Amino acid sequence: MSIRARNLTSQRVNQLAPSGIRRFFDLLASMEGVISLGVGEPDFATPWHIREAAIYSLEKGYTMYTSNLGMPELRQELSRHLKDNYGLDYDPDSELLITVGVSEGLDLTMRAILDPGDEVIMPDPCYVSYNPCVALAGGRPIMVPTNQENNFEVGAADIEARVTDKTKAILIGYPANPTGAVMPRDKLAQIAEVARRHHLLVIYDEIYARLVYGVEHTCFATLPQMKENTILLGGFSKAYAMTGWRIGYAAANKEVIASMTKIHQYTMLCASIMAQVAAIEALKSGEDSVTEMVKDYNRRRLVMVKGLNKIGLPCFEPKGAFYAFPSIKSTGMTSEEFAEKLLLQEKVAAVPGSAFGQCGEGYIRCCYATSLADIEEALVRMGRFVKRYKK
């Protein structure tokens, strides 16, 4: 039998839903003069002191593998950082793992904790990788609908209603992509209660932790008895404008970190050493840059949210990340239709909310990590567009 007669690719991968917005991407790639609100990363380059530290390390010959867990100095700095910010004690030698971004951390987590058929509960809409990472690890994603009326917060009761004897974990992340939602501490505490009651792990994606505006970020592991049961995934991409470096970390109890490390050492070996050196510098002296960036994002956030509401795209106030998630329901279009027409007619790119789950239908994600001039121009164009189609 020729190999062609068989399935070339695995059932597991074949069953993954294809990205619904491929066509939209291709369209965008063929156009010029587009203002993009579609990016998911800062519009700052990495602060110079961080880049300079990495350049210096290359000059000094730091070009080798590191420990599987990551450079000891980085884990120590990270441990200190988590202590200073959250008052949490993570042992740098057994409870921290340096990963290639939160993306790898998420994949490792799922592969480390799931057996076939195990269920993971997560909010809908949510970041695009959550669902496939669970499915690829043989688990079943169980979606909990959230909505604009509740500021896209996920309710503890809604989670609990979906717990079965197959449920292994809850996967959440606040501030959230795509909605910009931030969950208040008391509501997270209710989720912690559910996790305790049903002995569930909580995977908490903290990639946007530093980007909150006028509210406090709650680290899930700081909730009562939650450090033991939380797998904290964090990274440097958004806070320090280091997306291209691909560097993040996982903080969890010993057993989980040991299992994740097993997979990591066979598949990744270690995160790149220059990214690790840069991350050390970011933790040591990146604080001022973060504060300045947050102030700057906040100004643009206010312009974006006010502008969207004004042109007739109702938008709840996102308190974190750098996304606004307005409703486009008044136009009667699906979010994909809206995004495609907006791109063709007004040359503004925004991401259809449906890319993030069924509950994202009727919304678009607008990133305000772009220049103020571009935000204002985009709002003018979108205003024109909405006027044309408003029902």
Partner 1 sequence: MLKEILKILENDARTTAKQISTMTSTSSAEVTKIIKKAEKDHTILKYKTIINWEKVGGEQVEALIEVKIAPQRDVGFDAIAERIYRFPQARSVYLLSGTYDLLVLVAGKTMHEVSDFVSQKLAPIEGVQGTVTHFMLKRYKEDGEILEGKEEVKRQPVIL
Instruction: Tell the smallest beta-carbon distance from residue 46 to partner 1 (Å).
Output: 10
Among 202, 351, 366, 382, binds partner 1 (CB under 8 A): 351
Instruction: Tell the smallest beta-carbon distance from residue 92 to partner 1 (Å).
Output: 31
Binding mask 137-176 for partner 1 (x = CB under 8 A): ----------------------------------------
- Give ∠ CA 201-267-264 in degrees, rounded to 5: 40
Q: How many CB atoms lie within 10 A of CB 35?
A: 21
Among 197, 372, 387, 390, binds partner 1 (CB under 8 A): 372
Position 49 contacts partner 1 (CB under 8 A) = no
- Structure tokens, 272: 């790149």
Binding segment for partner 1 (CB under 8 A), chosen from 39-47, 69-77, 197-205, 219-227, is 39-47
Binding mask 275-314 for partner 1 (x = CB under 8 A): --------------------x--xxx-xx--x--------
- 13-18 long-range CB contacts below 8 Å, 24 or more apart? 13/136, 15/135, 16/132, 16/135, 16/136, 17/131, 17/132
- Structure tokens, 218: 């709650």
Pick 126 or 200: Cβ nearer partner 1:
126
Among 1, 3, 5, 29, binds partner 1 (CB under 8 A): 29
CA distances (Å), origin 291, targets 40, 41, 284, 286, 294: 19, 17, 14, 9, 5
Position 36 contacts partner 1 (CB under 8 A) = yes
Q: At what angle do helices 72-86 and 273-285 cross, to 10 degrees?
A: 30
Position 268 contacts partner 1 (CB under 8 A) = no
What is the rounded CA–CA span in Å between residue 314 and residue 364?
Answer: 11
Which residue type is seen at 124? D
Place of tokens 């420990």: 67
Which residues bind to partner 1, rule: CB under 8 A?
Answer: 24-25, 28-29, 34, 36, 38-41, 43-45, 127-128, 177, 295, 298-300, 302-303, 306, 349, 351, 355-356, 372
